[in-house]
Amino acid sequence: MQKIEMGMEEPWFKDPGNAAIFDGKADIETIEGTNIVIRIDDGILDLVELTVAQFHGNDEWVWDTPNAYGWTRDIEAAKTAALKRGWHEAMLRLREEVAIEVEGPLNRIAKRAAEAVRTRRRKE
């Protein structure tokens, strides 16, 4: 049986290396990021990158995930929103991966069950 784990391996960290984020509108001194890591059997399957930043000359904080973004007036609220959406995206990715991995065995079970029903009907 496979061991599946999801979690944040590091806290929010300052990341001025992402200076081009939000089309360069973000104040690079405010950029923070983290990742939600999805592991299967100790190997990294995927990760969801989360980022928050403040725009130049604006007091709003913008949050970003691979599939969504938004803004709020407070950095903690931005982090909370990014985490909420990031966990949702991580669960969707995990669900897709698990579905692919169990598709083969489920198809074999369905075929065996259908064959058993056909065989039983022939005997009746």
According to DSSP, the β-strands at 61-65 and 68-72 are antiparallel
Contacts 24+ apart (CB under 8 A), 17-25: 18/51, 21/51, 21/53, 21/64, 22/53, 22/55, 22/62, 22/64, 25/55, 25/56
Structure tokens at 28: 């690079």
Q: Which of 42, 91, 45, 102 shows the shortest CA–CA distance to 67? A: 91
Q: What is the pLDDT of residues 27-76, one digit of tens each?
A: 888 999 999 988 877 777 788 999 999 988 888 899 999 999 999 989 99
CA-to-CA distance for 54 and 71, rounded, in angstroms?
A: 9
Contact 32, 52 (CB under 8 A): yes
Range name among 8-22, 50-64, 94-108 with the lowest pLDDT average: 94-108
Query: For residue 6, what pLDDT band results from cuts at 50, 70 and 90?
Result: confident
The predicted model scores a pTM of: 0.72
